[in-house]
Structure formats: C-alpha cells, structure tokens
C-alpha cells in the first residue's frame, strides 16, 4: 500500500505559526554537518541516520505539530513518512526546505545550537556581563593575582585544551560550587569556555546567584587565548571536589531568587509523573546533574541533561516550542539556575521537581527504546572472534561511529560509514568476505545490518558489544586524524580545533559568527529572548 504524500506548509504559514502559543517542533532531517551549513533558527537536527532514537526523544508526544525540513534533498519527506508511520498525527513538510525559506525572504543561520549561542550574546548585552581579554588574564596569571580560572565545559573538552591553572566546573556546577572554590570575596573569578557562550553564561550565572566576588568572562575563551599567542595546556584533569558543597545554603538562596525572578515553578515528584503522562501537553523530564550522579540513581523516564550543556545546546534535548520542562537535581541549586536561563531563552513552562530523588530510582545511563531495532535478532560475533576473522582475512568491518570519534579510535581496517548511506559503501566491499557492523549503539548496528544485507551477497553480522566491546576486550584501536577527511564529515559540524587545516582562520570565523548573531536574530524576529520571564 502506497503511503500518501505528507502535507505541505508554506514558509509564510510556518513563520506565522512560530508566533502562536501552540506546540510546534521543526525537525531538520539532514546530518549535523549538513544542517550546520544553513537552517531555520528554531529548527532542530533529527538526522535520518538516528531518527528512531532522536525523534522520539525530541518530540515525545505524538500529537505535537511537527514540520520536517531539509536542504532540498528530499530527506524531509522520508522523515515525515517515518513519523507518520510510527503514530505522529500532525506532520507536515516545509515547501522548498531551507532554500524555500530563504527564497521567501526569511533569515537562515549557519552553525549549530544557534538559539543557545545567540542567547549567550543577548545575555552579555542585556546584563552587561564583564569580560577580560586574554592578555589581561595572562598578566594576572603572571603576577600571581588572587584569582581562580573556572572552565565551564565538560571534562572531555577541558582535557583537550585548557587555560593554565584552570579548574573544570561545568556550567550548572558553577553557582553550586564556586563559593567553595573562591571563599574569599576578594578572589577574582574568571570563567572560560572554548569560545563565548558558556563563558558568558557561566560568569553571569555567578553574578545572578549573588556571589560577591569580582567575576568576569574570558573574552573568546580558549580560542581567543590561542589566537592571542598564548599556549593552552593539554591533559589537565583538575576538577571541583565531589559531594555537596560547604556553602550549599548560600548557593540555594541565590539560585532560588534567580529562578523566582524568571518564573520558574516548583512541583513534587508525583506531580512530575502526572505531567509526564499528560496527553495534552509535551513534558520533558531532564536531570541536570553530572552524568556520573545520574548513573548512580535517577528518576524513571528522566534523561541526563547536564545543566550547563542543556542551556548551551538546548536543541539536543528540547525541540517543541511552548512545551513544559521539569528539571531534576538533588539540592535544587542546579535545577533552579538552569530553569531560570531556559525561561529567558525559550519561554518554556519550567518546573523544578523538589523531591524528585526521594523514593525508587533507576540506575545506569538509560537506553532509548527503539522498537524497530528490538524486533531484529541479527547474528553476532564477539570481539575476539572478529579479531581472529580479521587476522585470517575473512571479514570486513563497517564502523558506525561519529566521524570525529572514528578519527580518535577505530577498529584497524574498518570503513567509516553513516547508517542511512550504506549503499555508498557497497563498491568498497569485497564480494567474497562477510561483513561485520560495529557501532557505538547496539540499536544502530541492528538496523544497519537489516539495511545492508539486501545490498550485498555475503552474510552481514553485528559485533556484540560494539566498539566498546572491542575496547573492553583489550583489542587495539587505530587513531587517524585524516580519516575521514574534513569535507567528508557530514555527520558532525567540525569545530575549529577539529579541522586538519585552517584552524586559525576557522577560530576567527567562528568568533565573528557568534558576535554577529545579535544582528541576525534581530532581523529574524523569532528569538524573543527574555520576553517570557
């Protein structure tokens, strides 16, 4: 039976819908690198290669109005058909995709996490967040000034490149822990990230939380530091002390005042579950603590969304405009600070769940439910078995990892691929040797096996445990910064320091892009930062 063509929506109609109070999600079906070239301001990436997991998480309520878009390749129709097929009832395709939107006279944006990045620029202008240039910071460090440098990024980014003396304190942890790290009000606190957004939001979080210290953002972060001729340090692991901070009462008072100023509400655990089950309104249940804390015990059906990253990259977790967000942490500090910023950014109805962690909790990092994959039972090989087969020359491996992760470590001899573009790899495969799919997620490997098998004559198997299983077996991974090449990394929007050439030019271009977002959002008119709170 032929599925009917999806409903179309004209750019002018979608522009009008963005001003309504009804729920709406705009999903872009391209891979992240392609999405980053040009897209709508409130569009959220939902690549076809991960649609089974991404769509369900981004748009949990099947009656939500969804508009699918792309760059004119036809991917939007494929995504719309998939959504309709799994029960979404209000799905449309944007006429002409992003090119059609631009042709209608509306603004398009490059880059990723654009609403969050633009919001950071708005925050700096609106709150007049103070900042210092890298030479000023270098002079302070050289003089031994009374100061601390707090890096607001996740540990993996901090470990790669950091400011000398920097301490890793990811965004939501700042207002929670900074008083312990700088107990003397005379100590200057410098907050940095790789560029601008998390530096600004981190510094302003401390100011809004009422810390008495001199507080500044490092202008342009580690990129600005290196462009100014200073060296970053690599391999740094210094981090805040684990556990509840000594100055919890002061931190909570500051966070509570900030949240109340911007309309954050509170709810109980029971009310949170009731809202999550509400069929009339979308509810996101997000745990803003550190991932390790989340793994130790979290509320059923909540997702791990560390607070600083949630504000800096909201589109990774939230796609529905005018939805409801319930935030979870243990003390209420991190959830309240995160909630206040989310209110200012997107106007969502935001709740802090007061007693979320009282009672039964789930352990682990949580796994998405992918019915399409769960129904498949492909044959598997273990990591040692695969190693033996490779030594005999009887197998070929396709590895489904992010391109940037593949560069950092892949099974020797593996071919890198994107799940929905496996057909392009078939010419590289031998017709004589069986194929093994190795992936970061088991569900992706299962689906890829079913999709590749009709395209080849040899058996296709799954590596049990995926790439992590190979690593756990003590087997080697090969690092190769040039495979895939920069231009082939369609699945990832390369950061300046991910590139193999032109890094300095890319840094300058990125920083200029962030600053220019203020004018671009004024032309677009759909941001309305601060209008809701």
Q: Token pair 């049990």 is at which residue?
A: 464
β-bridge mates for residue 66, sequence order:
25, 91
Instruction: Give the model's pLDDT for residue 3.
Output: 65
- Residue 531: pLDDT band with limits 50, 70, 90: confident
What CA–CA distance (Å, rounded) separates 456 from 436?
A: 12
Instruction: Give the model's pLDDT for residue 5.
Output: 80
Q: Token pair 């691929």 is at which residue?
A: 417
Q: Token pair 């005018």 is at which residue?
A: 322
Instruction: Kindly report whether the peptide bond that precedes residue 105 is cis, defined as omega within 30 degrees of 0.
Output: no
pLDDT of residue 437 exceeding 90, the answer is: yes
Q: Where are the beta strands (DSSP E) in 293-427?
A: 303-304, 320-321, 324-328, 349-353, 380-381, 395-400, 415-416
Using alpha carbons, select from 134, 205, 175, 203 the residue that is nearest to residue 511. Answer: 134
Instruction: Give the model's pLDDT for residue 533.
Output: 56
347's torsion region: left (phi>0), alpha (psi -120 to 50) or beta?
Answer: left
Instruction: Give the model's pLDDT for residue 373.
Output: 96
Cα torsion angle, 488, 494, 498, 499, sign: positive
pTM reported for the whole predicted model: 0.96
**pLDDT tens string 119-152:** 999 999 999 999 999 999 999 999 999 999 999 9
pLDDT of residue 28 exceeding 60, the answer is: yes
Residues 151 and 164: beta-carbon distance below 8 Å: no
Q: In the 8-state DSSP scheme, what is residue 326?
A: E
What CA–CA distance (Å, rounded) separates 485 from 500?
A: 8
Taking residues 475-485, report their average pLDDT.
96
One DSSP character per residue, 480-526 reads -TTSS-GGG-TTS---GGG-SS-HHHHHHHHHHHHHHHHHHHHHH--
Residue-level length of the chain = 533
**pLDDT tens string 73-97:** 999 999 999 999 999 999 999 999 9
What CA–CA distance (Å, rounded) separates 338 from 336?
A: 5
Comparison of pLDDT for 365 and 252, the residue scoring more: 252
**pLDDT tens string 455-468:** 999 999 999 999 99
What CA–CA distance (Å, rounded) separates 428 from 418?
A: 14
Instruction: Give the model's pLDDT for residue 249.
Output: 98
Mean of all residue pLDDT scores within the chain: 96
Using alpha carbons, select from 51, 105, 54 the residue that is nearest to residue 75. Answer: 51
Compute the C-alpha angle 316/320/324, nearest 5°: 100
What CA–CA distance (Å, rounded) separates 471 from 453?
A: 26
What CA–CA distance (Å, rounded) separates 53 from 517?
A: 30
Instruction: Give the model's pLDDT for residue 365.
Output: 86
- Residue 204, phi then psi, degrees to nearest 5: -70, -30
- Residue 380: pLDDT band with limits 50, 70, 90: very high
Q: Where are the beta strands (DSSP E) in 377-433?
A: 380-381, 395-400, 415-416
List of domains in the chain: 7-111+519-524 (3.40.250.10), 118-246 (3.40.250.10), 254-353 (3.40.250.10), 371-478 (3.40.250.10)
- Residue 497: pLDDT band with limits 50, 70, 90: confident
């Amino acid at each position: 039976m032929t599925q009917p063509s999806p409903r179309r929506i004209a750019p002018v109609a979608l522009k009008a819908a963005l001003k309504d109070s009804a729920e709406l999600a705009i999903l872009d079906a391209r891979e992240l690198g392609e999405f980053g070239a040009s897209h709508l301001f409130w569009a959220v990436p939902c690549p076809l290669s991960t649609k089974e997991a991404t769509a369900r998480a981004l748009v949990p309520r099947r009656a939500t109005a969804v508009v699918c878009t792309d760059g004119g390749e036809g991917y939007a129709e494929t995504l719309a058909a998939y959504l309709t097929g799994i029960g979404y009832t209000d799905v449309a395709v944007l006429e002409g995709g992003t090119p059609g939107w631009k042709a209608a006279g509306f603004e398009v944006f490059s880059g990723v996490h654009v609403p969050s990045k633009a919001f950071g620029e708005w925050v700096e202008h609106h709150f007049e967040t103070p900042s210092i240039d890298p030479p000023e910071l270098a002079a302070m460090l050289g003089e031994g000034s009374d100061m601390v440098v707090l890096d607001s990024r996740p540990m993996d980014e901090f470990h790669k490149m950091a400011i000398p003396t920097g301490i890793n304190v990811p965004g939501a942890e700042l207002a929670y822990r900074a008083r312990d790290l700088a107990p003397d009000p005379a100590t200057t606190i410098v907050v940095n990230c790789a560029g601008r957004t998390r530096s600004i939001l981190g510094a302003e979080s401390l100011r809004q939380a009422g810390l008495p210290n001199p507080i500044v953002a490092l202008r342009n972060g580690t990129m600005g530091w290196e462009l100014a001729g200073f060296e970053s340090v690599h391999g740094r692991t210094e981090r805040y002390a684990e556990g509840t901070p000594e100055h919890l009462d002061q931190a909570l008072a500051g966070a509570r005042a900030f949240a109340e100023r911007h309309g954050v509400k509170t709810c109980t655990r029971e009310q949170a579950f009731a809202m999550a089950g509400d069929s009339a309104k979308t509810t996101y249940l997000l745990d803003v603590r550190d991932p390790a804390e989340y793994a130790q015990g979290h509320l059923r059906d909540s997702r791990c969304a560390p607070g600083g990253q949630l504000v800096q990259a909201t589109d990774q977790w939230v796609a529905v405009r005018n939805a409801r967000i319930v935030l979870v942490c243990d003390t209420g500090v991190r959830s309240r600070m995160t909630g206040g910023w989310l209110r200012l950014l997107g106007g969502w109805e935001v709740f802090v769940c007061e007693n979320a962690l009282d009672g039964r909790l789930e352990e682990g990092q949580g796994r998405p439910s992918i019915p399409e994959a769960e129904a498949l039972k492909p044959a598997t090989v273990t990591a040692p078995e695969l190693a033996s087969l490779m030594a005999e020359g009887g197998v070929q491996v396709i590895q489904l990892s992010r391109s940037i992760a593949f560069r950092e470590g892949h099974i020797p001899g593996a071919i890198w691929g994107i799940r929905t573009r496996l057909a392009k790899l078939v010419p590289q495969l031998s017709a004589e040797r069986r194929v093994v799919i190795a992936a970061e997620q088991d569900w992706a490997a299962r689906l890829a096996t079913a999709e590749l098998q009709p395209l080849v004559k040899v058996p296709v198997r799954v590596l049990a445990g995926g790439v992590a299983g190979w690593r756990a077996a003590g087997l080697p991974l090969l690092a190769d910064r040039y495979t895939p090449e920069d231009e082939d990394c369609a699945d990832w929007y390369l950061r300046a320091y991910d590139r193999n050439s032109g890094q300095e030019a890319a840094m300058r271009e990125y920083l200029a892009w962030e600053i220019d977002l203020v004018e671009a959002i004024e032309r677009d008119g759909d941001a309305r930062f601060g209008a809701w709170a």
